[in-house]
Amino acid sequence: MDKTFFNKTRILDGGMGQELLHRGLKPRGTLWSAEALIKKEYHQLVIDAHLDFINSGAEVIVTNTFTSRKGRLIQNNCLELFETINKKAVELALRARDISKKNILIAGGLPNQKQTYSANLGDDLQEIKLRFKEQAFFLKDDIDFFYLDVMGSGIECEIALESIDKYSLPVLVGVHVKDNGKLPSGESITQIVQNLQNNKWLGILTACVSPTAYELVKDELKTLNLPYGFKLNAFDKIPDNYVVTSADSWGREGNPKNILGINKDLNEEKFYSLVKNYMNEGATILGGCCEIKPSHIKEISKLIV
């Protein structure tokens, strides 16, 4: 793909996991969106969600792989499905793209491998390295680039980048920043870029962040000489001690909003207003994450002339 793709303003999709729940997915434990890959009855739901984001104006869709990582499958006693569902996620994204007949790109979503929104990788870094490598291997065919999704520290970014280094695919790096403007590790985005940037980078993205967090880093992002942007979430608040440790962490519904809540103020009109301002200030990578629906993406697609 063109390495300068994100030099121009581009629209990404929104939050697949929460969108699938809104459409009727009944998950188990902490499988969340991975359940839609496990059960054939939900495969069309995944395709349709991708299609709705595409038809709403998304130029990039991310594979539905955020919880098809080893840790979540181990929590829910279905590790044997690891290869199958990661390959299925790519297949369903391809089918949506082909049905749309639009020239959109598919990003292979390579998520954090331990606790989401955390810098805690546990004591066994070799196991974390293995998990990244194996998931990347199952995603690499037929995607346009890798998307590192919700990285919580420099070491996690480094391990993830090493896991895809042998492939010719470029990468969009997505780091999570908290409402203090820092990664969960306490590092700045500038530190991550200065220490780890290489010639495969397409840009830097603030991943699954609140508007508050993005506001704190937007001026910093301007100084990095990279295309930059965001996937904003519409959760209410991510607690500092947020952990997902077992299959019952989210209660019977298997929905993270039971803990994280919903930011009801971030409706389509508000999302449009925020994104328009951020675009005018220099952001070229515009998208949503959890609780950002196709209707939100349709609104910001109006910004592309």
From 59, 173, 62, 171, select the one nearest 109 (Cα to Cα): 62
| Beta-carbon contacts of residue 123 (< 8 Å; ≥ 6 apart) | none
pLDDT value at residue 208: 98
**Which helix H or strand E contains 8, and what residues bound it?**
none
**What are φ and ψ of residue 55, in 5° steps?**
-70, -15
pLDDT digits (tens, 9 = 90+) for 275-287: 999 999 999 999 9
What residue ranges define each of the domains in the chain, with the CATH number in brackets?
5-303 (3.20.20.330)
Please report which confidence band the pLDDT of residue 88 belongs to, taking 50, 70 and 90 as the band edges: very high
Q: In terms of residues, how long is the chain?
A: 305
pLDDT digits (tens, 9 = 90+) for 180-195: 999 999 999 999 999 9
pTM of the predicted model as reported, rounded to 2 decimal places: 0.97
Token pair belonging to 168:
């010719």
Please report which confidence band the pLDDT of residue 116 belongs to, taking 50, 70 and 90 as the band edges: very high
Give the C-alpha distances (Å, rounded to integers) separating 37 from 31, 65, 104, 143. Answer: 10, 9, 22, 17
The stretch 227-236 carries a mean pLDDT of 98
Q: What is the CA radius of gyration of the chain?
A: 17
CB 90 within 8 A of CB 143: yes
Whole-number Å distance between alpha carbons of 273 and 100? 28
**Which helix H or strand E contains 66, and what residues bound it?**
none
Whole-number Å distance between alpha carbons of 289 and 80? 28
Strands (E) in the chain, as ranges, are: 10-11, 60-62, 105-111, 145-151, 171-175, 201-209, 228-232, 285-288
Looking up tokens 């499905």 gives 81
